[in-house]
Amino acid sequence: MRRFAIANQTLFFGCELVSLSGVPCPEGLTAVQWSENDLLQHQGEEHYLDESHATWLGDGRAICFAVMDEEKLAGFAWIALGDVPGEMNHDGHPDTQLPLFLPDDTGFVFHVFILPAYRGQRLYAALMSYAAEQLPDHGVGKLLLTTECTNRSALRSVNRMGFREVGRAWLIKVGPICSVGYPEQPFFGGVRTGAYVGDLHERIND
């Protein structure tokens, strides 16, 4: 059933790679960068991965870092490069898809997932620490991410890692009534946003 009301309030957080707190993987776990073949070996609903994600690796739109427990997957995080389509930045509802346009030195963190058995071990931070070691080889020196303002766990986590708030966006819709807001453009050294898919004002202006 389609949601009648939408209340998406997004916070943007940014960080220089050199400012990220260094958090190693727990003993017995290893951080790696995945290839297409690696991903396909672990695709499935339980991991929220399918063949469409492999295409992101194949066409160079994104990089995937994973934490492995020998042959078992413990968690992963994606870094998008260049222009980021709305499908990579949303809260699960199509109307909240918000495209981003990144400068060459900035990566966008998205689709982070830690399997339940491995939560509470700071694997998100360990993934970001490993990414900070690898991303300079791709010309990336900064990271941007989004999280909802009500996600207290994520807010604590990203602040602890060294990320700081750099902008806000929102989409609030109740039937035909629509309120939207975007960060001042550009922000965080050249980042720009597109419009929410559900921005009725944009449809009127088209």
Q: What is the pLDDT of residues 117-127, one digit of tens each?
A: 999 999 999 99
Give residue limits of the domains in the chain.
5-205
Q: Average pLDDT of the chain?
A: 93
The Cα 142–Cα 20 span in angstroms is 10
The Cα 152–Cα 127 span in angstroms is 20
Q: Is the pLDDT of residue 33 over 90?
A: yes
Name which of 198, 4, 204, 24 is nearest 99 in CA terms: 198
Q: What pLDDT, in 10s, does the model give residues 68-92?
A: 999 999 999 999 999 999 999 999 9
**What pLDDT was estimated at residue 203?**
56
Q: Is the pLDDT of residue 206 over 70?
A: no
Tell me which CATH code domain 5-205 carries. 3.40.630.30
Q: pTM score, two decimals?
A: 0.93
The Cα 103–Cα 139 span in angstroms is 11
Q: Place 201 in a pLDDT band, splitting at 50, 70 and 90.
A: confident
Q: Give me the sign of the Cα torsion angle 38, 44, 50, 51.
A: positive
| Residues whose CB falls within 8 Å of the CB of residue 59, separated by 6 or more in sequence, listed in order | none
Q: What pLDDT, in 10s, does the model give residues 138-147?
A: 999 999 999 9
Q: Place 101 in a pLDDT band, splitting at 50, 70 and 90.
A: very high
